[in-house]
Amino acid sequence: GSDDRTIRLWNIETGNCKTLGRHTKRVQSVAFHPQGTKVASGGNDGQIRLWDIATGQCSVLPERHGDWIWLVAFYEEGRKLISAADDQCIKLWDVHQNRCLRTLKDYPHWIWSVAMSPDSNNLAIASDATFLQIWNLETGELTNLGEHENRVRRVAWSPNGEIIASGSDDYTIKLWNVSTGECLDSLEKHTKQIRSVMFSPNSKLLASGSDDCTIELWDVQSRQLVQILTGHENSVRSVAFSADGVMLASGSEDETIKLWNIHTGVCIKTLKAKRLYEGMNIAGAIGLTEGQKETLLVLGAII
């Protein structure tokens, strides 16, 4: 998903790109269905779209959010979907019945990220508050979990259900024991805000992306830094492990997606979509306003 409003699918082996479709405004979040048949996308238009990968057909969930959607994620083996948005609402959806099951309304802080527990009973919420909150979906109760020194941008729940990781604008990543609420450690190697955190499928590694343009890989048990992956030229906004845990994908504001071998730290491939006017020379063009020139340059034109 991209600021150009499109949802693109990449073939990792060939590097070929397929555009599924587009929103009416920028796309903030995408999620693969566990079976690999669908993609969910959330955008600044407040809509959640479900895309059939084989046919490209799109369906729109009936109740839109009132503002930007920051996150969409499948859970319960793809039967349900969660969304979080700037309208201070978190929604739970039944994908098959195409309806909203539940809404947490009027959350008192700007929501940046949420993470569902593996048993689907609790939801961790990262927001403009300096603390994490856990929403018990059975009782509706909200409880605080620990605290940072600045807003909490990202949260991830380990697949084994034992640890929550939170990344903050205070440049730290904290690991929390879910059972006791104890802070197990504070990981403090990034030099700017944390934009993404993600556990490996076996819960043994944690990946983080930051405004310092780097990706860090941490051993969860020893709390030791394993690798620092460098190569992006701007903020790393998203990281995701492959299903087998061997590869890591990272998305950056430098308009590239990089694929990494986590054992060697080597970048295997860099994916970058061609922009609409990529390489077009407009140095001699006449009749263009400064605004039009600026737009063309953003879309790949050169002077």
Q: What is the pLDDT along the chain (303 residues), one digit of tens a residue?
A: 777 778 888 888 887 877 877 787 888 889 989 888 899 998 888 888 898 988 888 888 887 787 788 889 999 989 999 998 888 889 999 988 989 998 888 888 888 999 999 999 999 999 998 999 999 988 989 999 989 999 999 999 999 999 999 999 999 999 999 999 999 999 999 999 999 999 999 999 999 999 999 999 999 999 999 999 999 999 999 999 999 999 999 999 999 999 999 999 999 999 987 766 667 788 878 888 888 887 777 677 778
**pLDDT value of position 143:** 92
Q: Are residues 22 and 129 in the same domain?
A: yes
Q: How many residues does the chain have?
A: 303
Q: What is the pTM of this model?
A: 0.83
- Whether 164 and 291 map to the same domain: the answer is no
Together in a domain, 207 and 128: yes
CA-CA distance, 217 to 227, in Å (whole number)?
5
Statement to judge: residues 147 and 87 lie in one domain: yes
In a domain, 214, yes or no: yes
Examine residue 70 and state whether it is found in any structural domain, yes or no. Answer: yes
Q: List the structure tokens of 51.
A: 């895309």
Please state, in angstroms and rounded to a whole number, the distance separating the CA atoms of residues 49 and 59.
6
Q: Which of 249, 246, 229, 227 is nearest to 237 (CA)?
A: 249
For residue 22, what are its two tokens? 């587009």
Q: Is residue 1 part of a domain?
A: no
Q: Which residue has the tokens 């057909």?
A: 57
Evaluate whether residue 254 is within a structural domain. yes
Q: Are residues 281 and 257 in the same domain?
A: no
Q: What pLDDT is attached to residue 23? A: 82
* pLDDT score of 282: 82
Residue 204: CB partners within 8 Å, gap ≥ 6?
Answer: 219, 220, 221
**Count of the separate structural domains present in the chain:** 2
> How far is Cα 138 from Cα 199, in angstroms, rounded to an integer?
25
Q: Let me know if residue 287 belongs to a domain.
A: yes
What are the DSSP calls for 218-282, one per residue?
Answer: EETTTTEEEEEE---SS-EEEEEE-TTSSEEEEEETTS-EEEEETTT--EEEEE-PPPTTTT-B-
Nearest Cα residue to 173 out of 191, 187, 156: 187
- Can you give the residue range of the structural domain that contains 77? 6-275
74 in a domain, yes or no?
yes
If DSSP states are collapsed to H, E and C, what string results for 42-110? Answer: EECCCCEEEEECCCCCEEECCCCCCCCEEEEEEECCCCEEEEEECCCCEEEEECCCCEEEEEECCCCCC
Residues 254, 237: Cα–Cα separation, whole Å? 10
d(CA 204, CA 139): 31
CATH label of the domain that carries residue 68: 2.130.10.10
- Determine the pLDDT at residue 190: 97
How confident is the model at residue 277, as a pLDDT? 67
Do 270 and 193 share a structural domain? yes
182 with 295, same domain: the answer is: no
Q: Are residues 197 and 266 in the same domain?
A: yes
The single-letter code of the amino acid at 233 is: E
252 and 132 both lie in a single domain: yes
SS3 284: coil
**Quick one: 208 and 281 in the same domain?**
no
Calculate the CA dihedral of residues 205, 36, 39, 215 and round it to 10 degrees: 20
Measured distance CA(233)–CA(253) in Å, rounded:
8
Q: What was the pLDDT predicted at 219?
A: 98
Q: Do residues 210 and 281 both lie within one domain?
A: no
Same domain, 82 and 226: yes
